[in-house]
Amino acid sequence: MGESASLLSAIVLVLIGAIMAAKLGDEGGIGGAYALALLLLIGVYSTGFGWSWGPLSWLVPSEIFPLEVRSAGQSVTVASGFVFTILVAQFFLAMLCRMKAGIFFFFAGWIAAMTAFVYLFLPETKRIPIEQIDKVWGEHWFWRRVIGVDSVEEAQATEKLNNTINTEVLISAIMAVKLGEEGELSRAYVLALLLLIGIYSTGFGWSWAR
């Protein structure tokens, strides 16, 4: 959905630029019918941008950073976004005066390039817990070369260790509560404890035992 809306925005910008280049270059003005067509195309462009690049600058950074660098990554992302927004706002009129209709082709080219980058280099993070983001980057065909396989294995070992610790805490809590109140454990709690001990042993075997 996002890639289609982004490509739609690029195509619409090309159409806007083509109409303006043809009509302004040949006639020096735009008729009423072409003006309405341009307004319609600008509305379509705004819709496509709102379905793709508009929210992506806020949505994607909130999902791709591991917990260890999440705050710093979000800060850099927001700051750089505002900086480039200011630059575009300051230079747009000067670029429009010099490039005229070509400015629409300029931005259409950038949208096409950004869409290709997202399609090739941005892994899918849908329904992925933030604790497993390292694993997603480590399995990507390109970024695994950047972060290294050792880093991915270390992150996976840390996750298994955390699961082991959580299981140990849960076992201790059940025994403290039930033995403190009743002095013994019912069959259901005994079975639950056996299951938790099995999970703990598996996690221990995948972390500390190695």
Read off the pTM.
Answer: 0.66
Dist CA 50 CA 56 (whole Å): 9
128 phi/psi in degrees, rounded to 5: -100, 120
User: Could you give the maximum distance between any two Cα atoms of the chain, in Å?
Assistant: 94
53 touches 114 (CB < 8 A): yes
What tens digit of pLDDT does each residue of 140-165 get? 888 888 876 555 556 556 666 666 66
pLDDT at 124: 86
Is 109 a residue whose pLDDT tops 90? yes
74 touches 65 (CB < 8 A): yes
108 touches 3 (CB < 8 A): no
Closest CA to 77 of 63, 64, 90, 58: 58
